[in-house]
Amino acid sequence: MINKKPKLIIQAPAGFTLIELLVVISVIGLLASVVLVSLNTARSKARDAKRRADIRQMGTALELYFDQFGVYPGDTYNGWEPICTTSPSNMAPVVSAGFIAKIPCDASSNWYYFDPEFDVPGGTSAYCLYSDLESGGSFGVKGGNPPGCPGT
């Protein structure tokens, strides 16, 4: 008869302890919150980049309008016009002349402001176009050198 020694088998308990599960859940929650915060910052920067591009596009359309007609569109609103909510907009002649297909509007709120100014020293035509930015400050373009144009 062969003498076999019984093997000693040690088994770990099945499953995870409550502490292990809580640690894993808290680590996952911490990582998720860090990702969401950085994602919101990236979204804000993307919206600001779109606002800058929209302002540049409208500024180019205004310059093309000026090249053809010799003046910028007139001021029928009297002062700073929130472009997307004012009807009719002072930008309408630029659209109807075909220099821009439509006035770009910010879906989140009214961020674009336009003021065609004819009271510039020397009586020349001018405009100021700007947008407030979520990251702070403003971005603008101007034509005809109007005084006090934000973001330029």
Q: Which of 61, 40, 38, 37 is nearest to 112 (CA)?
A: 61
pLDDT at 126 over 90: no
Query: What are the pLDDT digits (tens) for 64-89?
Result: 999 998 888 877 777 777 887 777 77
| pTM to 2 decimal places | 0.72
Q: What is the mean pLDDT of residues 108-119?
A: 70
**Burial class, 96, CB count within 10 angstroms (exposed 0-12 / middle 13-18 / buried 19+):** exposed
Domain boundaries, the chain: 21-143
